[in-house]
Amino acid sequence: MLKTSIEIKGSNFTLLVMYLNNHNIDLINESLYKKIQECPKFFKNAPVIVNVSGLCNVSDWKKIQEIIMSHGFFVIGVSGCEDKTLKRIIINSGLPILSESKKKNKNLINDISIASTEKTKIAITKKIEKTHIIDIPVRSGQKIYAKHADLIVVNNVSAGAELVADGNIHIYGVVRGRVLAGADGDTTRKIFCTALFAELVSISGEYWLSDQIPAEFIGKSVQIYLRNKFLTINSLG
């Protein structure tokens, strides 16, 4: 049977959310420069959603948009906007306004929230399906997503590669890419690896860039998890 010329389907993506807490152009420019220096490869050509809920007013949205894009980010939408005038300006600039609900799960690195009830936790547990096992090297530019499942990689993960799972992630090899567990918002998930050199690690939206990982754990066998909503790391063995 022939397929239609287009199909529109739901999907899952890992996105950054950039929170603007000041509308001063110079401060935004300086802050972006400093942030990019922390991990240039990770932020290069990164798609972002800009959250403006922390701004009292925005006098020049177009200039702010240009500043963000000048640092190599691709702005794909704006969230947290309640001002009707600003909404019109943003829409006229060619960007969509994204609605948010803190009671719903969102696949955004910085902005995942989930109702902390036993009922919700049970529902998430039931969704976990067969474990995904990868036994070949994961190369730069590759992205592997284990939907509703744990992910096990029995090999090395190169810089620029990305592992994402709704469940736990186990890496029996050297990991230099990005590792994101609990992508559907489950805060009980963990990351296990035998040689940690990751560009980024994340559990349910809470993340560390490479320079935020405690130096004593670099290259070591570790487990990473959330404790009281904060990332925690321990040695294995």
Distance CA 1, CA 55 (A): 52
Q: Which fold has domain 118-235?
A: Pectate Lyase C-like (2.160.20)
Residue 11 pLDDT more than 70? no
Q: What is the pLDDT of residues 133-167, one digit of tens each?
A: 999 999 988 889 888 899 999 999 999 899 999 99
- State the CATH architecture for 16-98: 2-Layer Sandwich (3.30)
Which pLDDT belongs to residue 217? 95
Residue 125 pLDDT more than 60? no
Which pLDDT belongs to residue 116? 34
* Amino acid (1-letter code) at residue 92: N
Tokens of residue 70, six digits: 């000048």
Which pLDDT belongs to residue 121? 42
Which pLDDT belongs to residue 3? 66
| pTM exceeding the 0.85 threshold for the entire prediction | no
Which pLDDT belongs to residue 167? 92
Is the CB of residue 193 less than 8 Å from the CB of residue 181? no
Q: How many residues does the chain have?
A: 237
Exposed e or buried b per residue across 218-227, where buried means at least 16 C-beta atoms within 10 angstroms of its C-beta = eebebbbbbe
Residue 205 pLDDT more than 70? yes
Q: What is the pLDDT of residues 171-194, one digit of tens each?
A: 999 999 999 999 888 899 999 999
Residue 106 pLDDT more than 70? no
Q: What is the pLDDT of residues 69-80, one digit of tens each?
A: 998 888 999 988
Of all residues in the chain, the percent with pLDDT exceeding 70 is 80
Domain coordinates in residue numbering, the chain: 16-98, 118-235
Distance CA 121, CA 186 (A): 7
Is the CB of residue 77 less than 8 Å from the CB of residue 51? no
Query: Which among 72, 80, 69 is positioned nearest to 45, based on CA atoms?
Result: 72
Q: Identify the residue with better confidence: 191 or 19.
A: 191
